[in-house]
Amino acid sequence: MMNKFFNLPLQKKVVGIYLAANMIIFIVNVFLILGINKMAIDMELVYQDNRQLNELTDSLTEVQDNMTVYLSSKTTDSLENYYKSAQTLQMLSDELGDEVTDLAFSRMRRNIKNMTGQYLEEVSLTVEAKRGRNVEKYRNYYESATELYEYINAYISRLNNEQFISNSERYTELATAFRTFESISVMVLTLVMTGNIISIITIVGMMIEPLKKLAVSANEIAEGNFDTNIPQTKYHDEIGIVIGAFNKMIISIKEYIIRQRESMEKERLMQEKELTMEAHLKDAQLKYLQAQINPHFLFNTLNAGAQLAMMESADRTYEYVQTVADFFRYNVKNHDTEVTIGEEMTLVDNYIRILNVRFSGDIKYHKQIDERLLKIPMPNMILQPVVENAVNHGIREMGDKGTITLKIYREDSDACISVSDNGKGIEQEDIEKILVGNWSKKEGQYDNNGIGMDNVISRLRIFTGKEDAVTIKSEGIDKGCEVIIRLPLPNVENE
């Protein structure tokens, strides 16, 4: 019942409380007024018997007087007045009642009624005798009526006095009870009003308690504390609706702040990634061309030598010089951080040609290429350093038995580039050091001025966003080594 009440709209709840409180006070006042009226009526009726006896006495005296006037004057008016007064006396005497009881007052009232009847009969005989001009009879009847009148009058006076004493005691009791009732009425009204006030304060307090909690939470949130306890309410009035909307707003704000923080963190990581990529790229470019010859000057010089070889019909010299020129042209042209797999593969092809001229064709070079993957983007200057490490640390001392194999294929949602050799392999401990960037050249190993594997691995991890962007496999000493690079496909559906 209480839950149903608290789920009502605020206006209905306030009106309901007001009506209930006033209805209780109204009902209590009605009962108190009815009690007071009843006691007032009882007090008014206390002396009803005395008033009745006084009226009977007055009527009896009026009959006696009218009879005397008629006997003296014998006029029509006096006779008419006599009959009226006699009729009134008869009516009043009939009201006395003739019930037989053991109560003294009732017996006395019955006696008065009987004597009054006898008196009226004597008076009637007196008037008749007077009208018949029987002087002797009407004198006897008159004396008898007068004697009876005096006796009745005295009897009524005695009964009136006794009843007055009894009624006075009753009146005192009623007055005391009335005052007691007044005190009780005041106490009842006070208790009812106090109960109403307490009930109203309690119910209104229960109604606005959620608002107080909401105000506290709102103040804390205004100070920036979004982890405050969110107020709850089980009722569905206007306050419940406001609290529900407030809670949804706080949750939305929290989620928005979290999304903003995540977005800012991602943006920061992207900026760090770009800066790191740029730093590694510059480092790669600087390390790759540590020679103090200007790349543009070297490229132009090689190009001039190629033209001269062509004019002298030295085809092999022309091809070699042109290959070296293309190799350096790639470095001069591709200053961007991203190139395609195809461009990186062309650089590796030129590099192998240069090495085969240098080592008289000792390096065998095989390719297994998925042509559909050649336009996939990747960081520049990645494959050539890997191939260079395979030559220098794998097959450099094998003569014409050394083989480099380049594979480009698709695996799941990745474009994979594999550079493998059949050289002397690498220990698992060194593989782990290379992957974490702690590897250092051992004594007697070939030292080059090119880009290190730590630079390549770091740039690939930043570019792909994956720690497993580079995998190094070797089954042991003299069993070769394979470096696998995994690049995410930009659009798997449209390959």
pLDDT above 70: residue 284 = no
Indicate the pLDDT class of residue 235, thresholds 50, 70 and 90. Answer: low
The single-letter code of the amino acid at 33 is I
- Residue 12 in this model has a pLDDT that exceeds 80: no
Structure tokens at 283: 């480092």
CA 258 to chain centre: 21
| pLDDT value at residue 483 | 95
Longest dimension (CA), the chain: 203
Give the confidence band of 445 by pLDDT, cuts at 50, 70, 90. Answer: low
Residue 322, pLDDT above cutoff 70: no
Q: Which of 39-43, 241-245, 248-252, 366-370 has the highest mean pLDDT?
A: 366-370
Core vs surface per residue 450-463: b (16+ CB within 10 A) or e: bbbbbbbbbbbbbb
What pLDDT was estimated at residue 292?
Answer: 36
Residue 275 structure tokens: 């800066």
State yes or no: pLDDT of 112 exceeds 90.
Answer: no
pLDDT at 305: 59
pLDDT band at 238 (very low <50, low <70, confident <90, very high): low
Task: Count the neighbouring beta carbons within 10 Å of the beta carbon of residue 187.
Answer: 10
- pLDDT digits over 331-388, tens only? 555 545 688 999 999 989 988 888 887 777 678 999 999 999 999 999 988 998 999 8
Residue 315 CA to residue 295 CA, distance in Å, equals 24
Please state, for a pLDDT cut of 90, what percent of the chain lies above it.
12
395 or 448, which is more confident: 395
Q: Helix crossing, 315-333 with 341-358: angle to 10°?
A: 140
Q: What is the pTM of this model?
A: 0.42
Q: Lowest-pLDDT range, 75-89, 224-238, 413-427? A: 224-238
When mean pLDDT is compared across 113-127, 197-211, 296-310, the lowest value belongs to: 296-310
Place of tokens 């061309």: 289
- Those residues whose C-beta lies under 8 Å from the C-beta of residue 305, and which sit 6 or more positions away, are 321
Instruction: Return the beta strands (E) in 372-469 as ranges.
Output: 377-379, 403-411, 414-421
* Residue pair 418/484 in contact by the 8 Å Cβ criterion: yes
Least confident of 68-77, 199-208, 331-340, 391-400: 331-340
Can you tell me whether residue 470 is helix, strand or coil?
A: strand
Segment 387-397 mean pLDDT: 87
Average of per-residue pLDDT values in the chain: 78
* Residue 297: predicted pLDDT: 45
Q: Ramachandran region of residue 357, left (φ > 0), alpha (ψ -120 to 50) or beta?
A: alpha
The more confident residue out of 156 and 325 is: 156
pLDDT on residue 475: 87
For residue 285, pLDDT over 60 is answered with: no
> Does residue 89 carry a pLDDT above 50?
yes
Q: How confident is the model at residue 290 (pLDDT cuts 50, 70, 90)?
A: very low
Q: Is the pLDDT of residue 495 over 50?
A: no
Range in 178-187, 347-356, 390-399 the model is least confident about: 178-187
Tokens of residue 326, six digits? 């293309």
pLDDT at 291: 38
Q: Is residue 446 predicted with pLDDT exceeding 80?
A: no
Q: Work out the average pLDDT over 162-172.
A: 78
pLDDT of residue 16: 74
Comparing 426 with 75, the larger pLDDT belongs to 426
Residue with tokens 């600087």: 286
More confident residue, 154 or 182: 154
Quick one: pLDDT band at residue 417, thresholds 50, 70, 90?
very high
pLDDT of res. 117: 84
User: In percent, how much of the chain has pLDDT > 70?
Assistant: 76
Confidence tier at 444 by pLDDT (50, 70, 90) = very low
Residue 434 near residue 453 (C-beta atoms within 8 A): yes
Q: Does residue 411 have a pLDDT over 80?
A: yes
Residue 242: what pLDDT? 74
> Rounded distance, CA 29 to CA 146, Å?
56
Of 173 and 388, more confident? 388
Tell me: pLDDT of 289 over 50: no
What domains, with CATH codes, occur in the chain? 2-214 (1.20.120.1730), 337-495 (3.30.565.10)
User: Minimal CA–CA distance to 283: which of 428, 380, 175?
Assistant: 380
Q: What pLDDT is attached to residue 199?
A: 76
